[in-house]
Amino acid sequence: MPATVHHRACHLCEAICGLRIETDGDRILSIKGDPADPLSRGHICPKAVALQDIHNDPDRLRRPVQRIRGTDRWREISWEEALDSTAQRLVEITQRDGVDALGVYLGNPTVHNYGMMTHQKNLFRHFHTRNRFSATSVDQLPHHLVSLWLFGHKSLFPIPDIDRSAYFLMLGANPIASNGSIWTVPDVRKRIKALRKRGGKLVVVDPRYTETAELASEHLFIRPGSDALFLLALVHTLFADDLVAPGPLGAFTTGLSELAAALADFTPEFAAAHTGIEASTIRRIAQEFAQAGAAICYGRMGVSTQRYGALCQWAIQLLNILTGNLDREGGSLFTLPAVDQVSSIGPGGFARHHSRVRQLPEFDRELPASAMAEEITTPGTGQIRALFVGAGNPVLSTPNGRQLDAALAQLEFMVCLDPYLNETTRHADIILPPTSPLEHDHYDLAFHINAIRNTARYNEAVFAKPEGTLHDWEIFTELGNRVAALLGQPAQPVTAPHEIIDMGLQIGPYSERQGSVHALTLDKLRENPSGIDLGALQPQLPDRLQTADKTIDCATPQALADLDRLRAAFSAGDSGALRLIGRRHVRSNNSWMHNYHRLVKGKERCTLLMHPQDMATRGISDGDRVHLSSRAGSVTVAAEASTGVMPGVVSLPHGYGHGRPGVRLHTAARHAGVSCNDVTDDLALDVLSGNAAVNGIDVEVALA
Ligand SMILES: Nc1nc2c(c(=O)[nH]1)N[C@H]1C(S)=C(S)[C@@H](COP(=O)(O)OP(=O)(O)OC[C@H]3O[C@@H](n4cnc5c(=O)[nH]c(N)nc54)[C@H](O)[C@@H]3O)O[C@H]1N2
Ligand SMILES: Nc1nc2c(c(=O)[nH]1)N[C@H]1C(S)=C(S)[C@@H](COP(=O)(O)OP(=O)(O)OC[C@H]3O[C@@H](n4cnc5c(=O)[nH]c(N)nc54)[C@H](O)[C@@H]3O)O[C@H]1N2
Ligand code: SF4
Ligand SMILES: [Mo]
C-alpha cells in the first residue's frame, strides 16, 4: 500500500516547523522537514521525530481516570462519569465558598494548541475567579507588560529581523538550543551564519558560553541578575555621547528628556562594578549599536525571569527606539498575522487587583504563579479549594515546587486536562486526557504573531479521532455545558476551532474583504498545506500602535518608579554568593519530553555545571555528588566541571525530578534527575511585574 503524505506543523516549540509525515494506515513511516514551508524551509530539530513517540507512548492516557479514594491507585471511568462529576464538584465548591475557591493553572502547551485557546472560555465563562495562574509568570510576563506600556497592546512584540540586520545584541537567550522564543525563527543557525557571513555582528551576553555564543562574534559573561544595569548604561551612553537618533520614530515618541534625567546616574562605571563588563566595553557597544545602520537588541528568558525582568525588557526596547531600530528593516518589526489578535482581542491590563495573601499584581486577569501555593494553603475567604490544571506541570515548572507539591495534596478537589500521570497530575482526583496532537487539526494562533515572516498555515489531523476520545476543546465545551445545565443556563452553541479561524481569516488583513490579493479563507489554506507566504515584515508605525494617543511614551511611569529598587539593591553591594541559572537542551522541552527514549538516550543531562575554580574552593571534583541549596529547598545532583560557566555561577536545567512516587512515566523514571525548581524560590520575584526570578538566585553548593 502506498504511503500517505500529511502536512503538519510541529507544535512542540515556538519555531512551528512545517513537517511532512508519511503514514501507512495507523503507522507513522517517517517525519521530515517540509522544504515547501515558506517559514521553516525544511528545517526540523530532533524533537519533531518524537511526535510519533508521543502518539504511540503506552504511558499516554487514552481514557479518563479517577483516583480510588484515599489511595494512589486509579481506575478508568467513562467520559460521562468524568465530565459529570467534574462539573458537579466545581459548581458545588464555588457555590459554597465563592468563585475564587476555584484556582486555574494553564501551562505552556495551551498556546501550542489552538483549540485550547479558543475554547477554554466555554468552561471559564462560568467561573470568573481571581485565582487564575499560568506559565506566563515564570516566563514572558515582562515582555507583555513592556509591550502594553510602550505600544498599547500586550501582544505587540517587536520581532528581530535577523535576515536583514547588521548587528545583533542578544541577552539571556539561547536560540540554538531553544529554537527561539518570542521570536519564531526556524533554522536560526543558518540565519546567524548568514548574518556573520555578510559581515554582521552577533554579540551574546550570557553567564554561560552557550551553543549560541559559539556562533557569535563576541561573547560577554555577565553576573546573573545584573543585566538591567548593563542595558540602562547603554541607554545612558546614547544620551551622554549624543547617539540618540530615533529617525522617523521621533515624530511620535515622547518622554526622552525625562528619561535622560532619570538615567543620569546609571553610568557604565556603575554597571561595570556589578556586571563584570568593563565600562569601556559598554561604551563601545552603545556606539556600535547606534552606528550599525540596522541593529537588533533582543533578550529572552535569562533577562525576563530574573529580579529586574521588566526593567530589562523595557531598556531593550528603549535601545531599539532611541537608535531608530524599531520598525526598521533589519531592526525589530511588528508582524501582521493572518488572524490578527492585536485587533481582535483586548490590550490586556495590569494591577487591577492583587493576590489575597501577598498582594501581588494581576496581569491579564492572572496572578503570579509564585503565589499559587500560598493561595491554596492560607485559610480565609478566597482560599483555593478546587484546582483546574490544563496542560501544565507547575510542580516541576514553578518556583519552590516542593511547597506546591505539598499544597496540592491539601486541595478538596483537583482535575487535570493532561495526557500524562506526572508530578502534578498525580495529585488530581480526575485526569481528563485529550486526543493525541496528531489526532486533531492545527492552526498556530499564537506564534505567527512572533514570526520573522508573515505566513499562514492550516493542517488537517494526521489520524482520525479514535472512538471514545475527545479533543481538548471538546472537553472544555462539554464541561462548560454541564456547568451551564447545573446553573440553569443555556448551553453554548458548538463552533469548532477551525470555524473560528475561518472567520478570523475572512476579516483579517489578508482577506478579500480587506482588499488583499491573498483573499485568505480556510479553504485556501487547505489547498496549500505547506502554508502561504504573506511576505517579509514591513514597517507599520505609527498605525499599528494601540496606545490611545498613537505615541510611544519612553518615560514609562511604572519603570521609572522601579529604578529606585534597582539602584538600592546594587548600592547595597553583592553577597558574592553562587548564583543559579537554568539551561535548555535541544532534545528536551520543559518537563514533558523525557519519556521518549530517542530524546533521553546518551549522556546524563541533568547535571550542575560549575566553574573549576568554584569547585576547587569547595573541594569538589568533576562528577561528585553535591548538595545544591537555597532558602527554599535543596537537591543532590552530580557536579560537572565547565569553564563555559562564569565563575560564581552554577547551571541546572529545569523540568526534571521525575522520581516522585505515583508518577507513571516509565522512560522518564530512568532519567529522573532532580527538579531545579525545588531550589528556586517563590519569594524571589521581579517585584514590578510579579514574574518569577528562576534565574540568578543565590545558592550554596557543598560536597554531598
Ligand atoms: N527553573 C526554571 N523553571 C522554569 C523555566 C526555566 O527556564 N527554569 N522555564 C519556564 C517556562 S519558559 C515555561 S513555558 C514553563 C512551562 O511550565 P508548564 O507549562 O507548567 O510545564 P510543561 O513542562 O510545559 O508541562 C506541560 C504539560 O502539558 C501536558 N501536555 C502536553 N501537550 C498537551 C496537550 O496538547 N493538551 C493538554 N491538555 N496537555 C498537554 C504535558 O503532559 C505536561 O503535563 O516552565 C517554566 N519554569
Ligand atoms: N529544546 C528546548 N527548546 C525550548 C524549550 C525547552 O525546554 N527545550 N522551551 C521553550 C520555551 S517554553 C521557552 S520560553 C523558550 C526559551 O528560550 P530561550 O530564552 O532562548 O532559552 P533559554 O535556554 O532559557 O535561554 C536563557 C539564557 O539565559 C541565560 N541566563 C540566565 N540568567 C541570566 C542572566 O541573569 N542574564 C543573562 N544575560 N543571561 C542569563 C542562560 O544561560 C541561557 O543561555 O524555549 C523554548 N524552546
Ligand atoms: S525546532 Fe524542533 S521542536 Fe521546534 S517546532 Fe521545529 S521541529 Fe518542532
Ligand atoms: Mo516558556
- Low-confidence residues of the chain: pLDDT under 70: 1
Structure letter (DSSP) for residue 425: G
- Spatial separation of the C-alpha atoms in residues 133 and 394, rounded to whole Å: 10
Which residue out of 11, 14, 16, 17 has the highest number of ligand 3 atoms within 8 Å of its CB and is therefore the one to mutate?
A: 17
| Closest ligand to residue 18's CA | 3
Ligand 3 centroid – CA 500 distance (Å): 26
Residue whose C-alpha cell is 522520581: 659
Residue whose C-alpha cell is 541549596: 629
Produce one character per residue of 571-593: b if its CB has 16 or more CB atoms within 10 Å, e if not. eeeeeeebbbbbbbbbbbbbbbb
Residues with CB under 6 A from ligand 1: 107-109, 113, 135, 138-139, 301, 390-394, 397, 417-420, 422, 434, 437, 472, 582, 590-592, 654-655, 676-677, 680, 694
What residues pack around ion ligand 4 (CB closer than 5 A)? 139
Ligand 3 centroid – CA 189 distance (Å): 13
- Taking CA atoms only, the protein residue closest to ligand 2 atom 3 is 178
Cell for 414?
483537583
Ligand 2 centroid – CA 634 distance (Å): 22
Q: Which domains are seen in the chain, by residue range?
A: 4-60 (2.20.25.90), 158-333 (3.40.228.10), 575-703 (2.40.40.20)
Ligand 4 centroid – CA 447 distance (Å): 12
Cα 141 to Cα 136, 304, 350, 389, 484: the distances in Å are: 5, 8, 11, 19, 32
pLDDT in the model for residue 389:
99
- The response to whether residue 16 sits with its C-beta less than 6 Å from ligand 3 reads yes
Structure letter (DSSP) for residue 490: P
The answer to whether 301 and 181 are in contact (CB under 8 A) is: yes
Q: Which of 304, 306, 365, 15 is nearest to 143 (CA)?
A: 304
Ligand 3 centroid – CA 434 distance (Å): 21
pLDDT in the model for residue 1:
64
Element at 299 (helix H, strand E): strand 295-299
- Spatial separation of the C-alpha atoms in residues 55 and 10, rounded to whole Å: 13
Ligand 3 centroid – CA 599 distance (Å): 13
Ligand 2 centroid – CA 173 distance (Å): 5
- Spatial separation of the C-alpha atoms in residues 624 and 604, rounded to whole Å: 14
Strand-strand pairing, 691-692 and 625-629 = unpaired
> What is the CA 412 to chain-centroid distance, rounded?
30
| Closest ligand to residue 182's CA | 2
- The response to whether residue 48 sits with its C-beta less than 6 Å from ligand 3 reads yes
